Structure 1
């Protein structure tokens, strides 16, 4: 079937060129996709290849849409290619936040943060993802919000951070990316919003974990998702937001009491929105969106947190009703900056 939309055309170009590079370089699909992203950015073949491979990649590049691509079109095409590569990968941590969830988090940033900024505040919003992966979640949020923003992301996976570079460059986003471990690396600048689809499991470097309040100590191993929450809030400005994708059982784990006490001390809990059960084949992996705000002396705790089970994102009537409930809560509980 011939590609008709810009997303399809860009995806076919990326996929065709990536498969050529994969064959020639004998490298995994995701690594070849990084190189093909560079070729698309420069609209030329940037690698030293044989003539046949170079000609085939140039032929793919010539099939790119003539008109300028919107950032969201680029993101979706790269997402499709990345998902193809992840299906072939044996790395269990290679996963991607569902599109509907990424865009919904962007909606929350718009309504809770941007719409509540002072009218004369023209400063860009600073958004940080401490487990940025391929930057799909980060760039989805940047594409959704209505005001200028600067992004920042860290990931220990070299292939994913290279994909993130290609992704952000092709979308023309102002994003700083670092190939590091965000639990080890403390950034100098504080951010307005931290977003993160938290990786789940134990953190292997117990020496580093000793510096964290959420290190359980003794013979217990620290959870990476607990340490990431602590680091994220530490990197947030007073009054800034943390929006996390968490496992539904986060507050039922063996270290839940320690986590809950720390969160109540350092933040105000704004909301817990359970994602639709239909999104998860195995309910063991079901997730929720957890929203907190870093404490500041001028802020008061909400009268009550926003607690809800989200309907299916495809159920337009139910989602419209849920959106009204969320926006009524925001209007009643979050004061506009002056």
Structure 2
């Protein structure tokens, strides 16, 4: 039985990463980044590797024929290797946005943004870059320059390598996303927001959404930081907890959003995507206020069915289509 192209590329990444993991005495995830860089550069960049190992690696890389592979094949294969690494070394901040969710956000982005041919996109919590590159791979008609921010050095290296292999223009900043960002305002923000408290109370004081007492919610501060760095009329798509507007700090958030943006929609994701109901999330769609731009006649509110139920998904997509025609 023949392997699919995705499986073939995954096996090559996995095999070569395992070899490098042993030779370099590093983690599997670090080795995935190293082997991905080798694939991109078409060279063995690690001087510590023996000549025999170099020949083994080179033979595998030639079989990958990476320059001829479609972006989605590369992204999925790379994603499977990263998921394997995350299972071996689980850390709370090492989470990946599910594929089906990334594709659904791609659908929404293409529905809301139809006229721009040149776009700047920001993901302030880029992680491994899987959400961003999923969306970019579905925006073939646009000339897109992307910016990603990530504090974790391993994750940002994986984002860098993945973007290179898929030939996306990506500018990366390895820093705390809530520190000052030296970037121009962007047309579009996408982010699967980190959920929880932000420990740096001194830094939080620079935000309108700082908590009145105790630690501030990091996801609130990420929303404010993102809005600050979005052009007037630009769109923001966030994956947020279902209880975003029900927390102790939600009134403050609601007032801030009312002042800065038009809420376009809130789409609750199917519970089947999450381990338990309390971990459920929604997609929040915002548009930054600008003179001449009116709020929607009604906010797009929906609970999405299981993405496995094709007819129910088609119904909800038709509802979203109808809403966009009425409101845009």
* 8 Å Cα contact 1:6/1:65 also seen in 2: no
> How much has 1:250 moved relative to structure 2?
1.1
> How much has 1:67 moved relative to structure 2?
6.9
Residue 107 in 1 paired to residue 102 in 2? no
State the alpha-carbon separation in 2 of the partners of residues 304 and 66 from structure 1: 47
Give 1:87-98 correspondences, 5 Å limit: 87-98=87-98
> How much has 1:190 moved relative to structure 2?
0.6
State the alpha-carbon separation in 2 of the partners of residues 262 and 63 from structure 1: 53
- CA deviations over 1:172-223 (Å, ceiling 9, x no partner): 0011111111110323311111010000111111111100000013x32111
State the alpha-carbon separation in 2 of the partners of residues 22 and 185 from structure 1: 35
Give the number of equivalent residue pairs. 326
Structure 1-normalised TM-score?
Answer: 0.93
State the alpha-carbon separation in 1 of the partners of residues 180 and 69 from structure 2: 35
Structure 2-normalised TM-score?
Answer: 0.96
SS at match of 1:245: strand
Which of 160-169 and 279-288 deviates more?
279-288
Residue 6 in 1 paired to residue 1 in 2? no
SS at match of 2:68: coil
Which of 293-302 and 183-192 deviates more?
183-192
SS at match of 2:64: coil
> How much has 1:71 moved relative to structure 2?
1.0
> How much has 1:286 moved relative to structure 2?
0.7
State the alpha-carbon separation in 1 of the partners of residues 77 and 306 from structure 2: 24
State the alpha-carbon separation in 1 of the partners of residues 270 and 120 from structure 2: 29
* 8 Å Cα contact 2:39/2:66 also seen in 1: no
| Match for residue 283 of structure 1 among 254, 262, 277 | 277
Match of 2:127 in 1: 133
State the alpha-carbon separation in 1 of the partners of residues 71 and 172 from structure 2: 18
State the alpha-carbon separation in 2 of the partners of residues 244 and 59 from structure 1: 42
- Unaligned segments of structure 1, at least 5 residues: none
Match of 2:149 in 1: 154
| Match for residue 184 of structure 1 among 158, 179, 188 | 179
